[in-house]
């Protein structure tokens, strides 16, 4: 296994654990780069310039990888999809395995409508006599 493959395995393991929304604090011991997941592009991108070792607050779709930029460029195509992506609208539109639970999916919507009868309340419309002007 090459260094890039080992790095990809370690980073993919970290990505696989990213299943919760919200900010989190990450501490790095070496210089690295922040990567961000793009739902619309369905890929990982380099988000920042090189970050020195330290503590960083990052969002659910970001990860910091401690590696040189040349290794990061080789690593990007080897990374797995962010687990949170499978629940996104973009994933449903592209036809993921979860499309049965998509509230925008036509069959899901039709089934839901059949099970619940929705009726609009009737409004009384009263005509006003005159404009009320003096």
Domain range for 24 is 3-80
Residue 24 included in any domain: yes
Give the model's pLDDT for residue 106: 47
The count of structural domains within the chain is 1
Distance CA 85, CA 43 (A): 10
Residue 53 included in any domain: yes
Lowest mean pLDDT among 67-71, 83-87, 106-110: 106-110
Residue 85 included in any domain: no
Residue 52 included in any domain: yes
Q: Which long-range contacts (CB under 8 A, 24 or more apart) does 102-105 make?
A: none
Residue 96 included in any domain: no
Beta-bridge mates of residue 33: 65
Residue-wise pLDDT tens digits, 13-56: 999 999 888 999 999 999 999 999 998 888 999 998 899 999 99
Taking 80 as the threshold, does the pLDDT of residue 125 lie above it? no
The answer to whether 48 and 25 are in contact (CB under 8 A) is no
Residue 58 included in any domain: yes
Residue 54 included in any domain: yes
Residue 36 included in any domain: yes
Distance CA 35, CA 23 (A): 15
Distance CA 118, CA 51 (A): 54
């Amino acid at each position: 296994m090459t260094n890039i493959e080992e790095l990809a395995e370690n980073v993919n393991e970290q990505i696989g654990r990213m299943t919760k929304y919200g900010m989190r604090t990450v501490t790095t011991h070496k210089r690295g780069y922040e990567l961000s997941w793009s739902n619309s592009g369905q890929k990982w991108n380099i988000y920042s310039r090189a970050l020195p070792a330290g503590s960083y607050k990052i969002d659910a779709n970001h990860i910091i990888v401690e590696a040189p930029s040349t290794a990061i460029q080789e690593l990007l195509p080897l990374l797995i999809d962010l687990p949170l992506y499978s629940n996104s609208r973009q994933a449903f539109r592209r036809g993921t395995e979860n499309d049965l639970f998509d509230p925008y999916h036509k069959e899901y919507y039709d089934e839901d409508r059949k099970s619940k009868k929705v009726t609009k309340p009737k409004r009384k419309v009263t005509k006003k006599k005159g404009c009320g002007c003096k």
